[in-house]
Amino acid sequence: MAMTHAARLLDWYDRHRRTLPWRAPRGATSAPYIVWLSEIMLQQTTVATVGDYFHRFVKRWPTVEALADAPLDQVLSAWAGLGYYARARNLHACARTVAAEHGGRFPDDEAPLRALPGVGPYTAAAIRAIAFDQPASAVDGNVERVIARLYAIETPLPDAKPEIQARAAKLVPEKRAGDYAQAMMDLGATVCTPKSPRCIICPLMEGCRARKLGIAEELPRRARKADKPTRRGLAFVLARKDGAILLRKRPAKGLLGGMDEVPSSPWREGKLSIAEALKHAPVPANWKVLEGGVRHTFTHFHLELAVARATATTARLARLSPGSAWVEIDRLTERALPTVMRKVIAHAVKS
């Protein structure tokens, strides 16, 4: 009898599965906490980047209750560098909800999982499949690509999503659903890659329509995205004589909420007026605007920051706003400093 799609894939998975820090050994199942933590970390971030963060989190907070008990500030600073900080806040809120409302155990049904902060349809399905071995269909970008190619779906994303979801759901086997979900992820990451898919070694090549039509690399098609706007501002790096740098805290809500930053002028579209921006300096000082600057891309806009540097003098420090703090340069890694602010400080230090 011909092997089914799932049987082919599982057979391939048994021989080629990736070893990942959060993945249980063959025949074992990862704890829901581990699956959830790794899936949240992996959103918009590569496996290579997540590895170290994952190890650090699990060592420091080995259970969901331990993470729930941690102060948000500590979680944000451990997360610093992974980006998309709303995920870290949701991570913490989710841990607290699981600890307070579910007795420290992740639910295994879709509805209560989806009710948890930061848990969307993909994460809920991944937890159900991988941690509870339920036949749930977890469709992330990798799986989307594999399915679009298997069925030669030419409708551009995001309009193709419902069809992809429906096709993917039909393929999920009743048995070994967790291994199947991970096999699809591995196939998308290592064989059915965005560029130059390795169809020749693919366990699904026989039934793959895009390969037969010679259009695998063109799929999935995507609707053209509107260009992101660029906002500009001037960041102020104020250093004490001993090298400590002035930081302030961002408002709790909104972009990079609750994170630390160096002060800056408002970030606005259009040309940056340095004279105007200097009016937002945290204290009057001999500000020197440095050559070059820092560029960073957020989900919805690019940010270009010019950087001004000054040395603090005691007389002017009385005017610092409340909530500001001096942080020694070798202790910056302990702070919840987003990547863009690390770039700004690095630029000021090396210029």
Binding site for ligand SF4 (CB under 6 A): 146, 149-150, 191-192, 197-199, 202, 204-205, 208, 210-211, 216
3-state secondary structure of 268: strand
Q: How far is CA 72 from CA 68, 117, 125, in A?
A: 9, 15, 27
Whose tokens are 């204290």? That residue is: 283
**Separation between Cα atoms, residue 117 and residue 101, nearest integer Å:** 13
Task: Report the Cα–Cα distance between both ends of the chain, in Å, rounded.
Answer: 69
Name which of 144 and 260 has its Cβ closer to ligand SF4: 144
Set 39, 101, 110, 328: catalytic member: 39
Name which of 29 and 190 has its Cβ closer to ligand SF4: 190
Enter the tokens of residue 94: 């989710």
The backbone region for 24, taken as left when phi is positive above 0, alpha when psi lies in -120 to 50, beta otherwise, is: beta
Name which of 16 and 240 has its Cβ closer to ligand SF4: 16
Q: How far is the CB of 77 from ligand SF4 (least distance, A)?
A: 40
The backbone region for 196, taken as left when phi is positive above 0, alpha when psi lies in -120 to 50, beta otherwise, is: left
Enter the tokens of residue 283: 């204290």
Q: How far is the CB of 13 from ligand SF4 (least distance, A)?
A: 14
HEC string of 244-257? CEEEEECCCCCCCC
Q: How far is the CB of 167 from ligand SF4 (least distance, A)?
A: 12
3-state secondary structure of 222: strand
DSSP 307: E
Name which of 78 and 219 has its Cβ closer to ligand SF4: 219
Name which of 139 and 283 has its Cβ closer to ligand SF4: 139
Angle at CA 300, nearest 5°, toward 257 and 253?
A: 15
Q: How far is the CB of 18 from ligand SF4 (least distance, A)?
A: 16
| Dihedral over alpha carbons 112, 117, 122, 127 (to 10 degrees) | -60
Name which of 169 and 205 has its Cβ closer to ligand SF4: 205
Whose tokens are 């948000």? That residue is: 72
Q: How far is the CB of 46 from ligand SF4 (least distance, A)?
A: 20
Q: How far is the CB of 145 from ligand SF4 (least distance, A)?
A: 8
101 is catalytic: no
The backbone region for 240, taken as left when phi is positive above 0, alpha when psi lies in -120 to 50, beta otherwise, is: beta
Task: State the catalytic residues.
Answer: 39
